[in-house]
Amino acid sequence: MKKALYILAIGVMAVACSKGSHVDSATAAVGGNNTYNNSPAGQYMMFIADDLTAGALNELETSLPLKKSEVSWASRFRGMTIVKADGKENTWVLTYEGAFSMGGNMYDTHFSIVATREDESESHADWTVTLTGSRKERDGYSCRFNSLGSLNYRTAGSETGWNQIYGRLSMDVFKNDARKDTGLLVFNGTPSAAQFVRGL
């Protein structure tokens, strides 16, 4: 019996050691533990970068060949206006105000995005955007968010979506107009590797 337990223990230790020995050197890193998915506020900010901003860019790319100045088709961005920026090449201003579904929740949202197409693609393109907005939620909570400088959305060869984001997104959280928290989401490539810092 003792011999059987001893052999079992050796087997368990061997498996545990083998799991640690197969480290992918291309992705191995130390530090960087403050990823956005460790925090509800960080996840909320990713909704702003993904559901809201990337979603608005998708609708912009849909509208351009149709020469539409408003999202009038079936979309959660219905009513968003799309206006060519004065005196700027390949730049549009996107504005939305109303109830908006983000992260599965519908609340009053306002945002303005200035989007500049960075290549001559007629369909899916790289974009540089600046963003400002606000959102009112339940129990007196609200937030204001904005890009610090610009956010760069890069296709990196993808035919849909954007595989690379660069830049910084800031958010202030309020309850009954008193600021309760702040957050910063920093992008430097793959969206899933975004770094989140709160309470600045």
Mean residue pLDDT of the chain comes to 84
Lowest-pLDDT range of 32-36, 117-121, 169-173, 180-184: 32-36
> 123 vs 12, 61, 120, 129, 157, CA distance in Å?
54, 6, 9, 17, 13
pLDDT digits (tens, 9 = 90+) for 50-83: 999 999 999 999 999 999 999 999 999 999 999 9
Query: What is the pTM (predicted TM-score) of this model?
Result: 0.81
Phi, psi of 28 (to 5 degrees): -65, 140
CA dist 142 and 78 (Å) reads: 22
Beta bridge mates, 167: 187
The C-alpha angle 45, 49, 52, rounded to 5 degrees, equals 105
pLDDT > 90 fraction of the chain, expressed in percent and rounded? 68
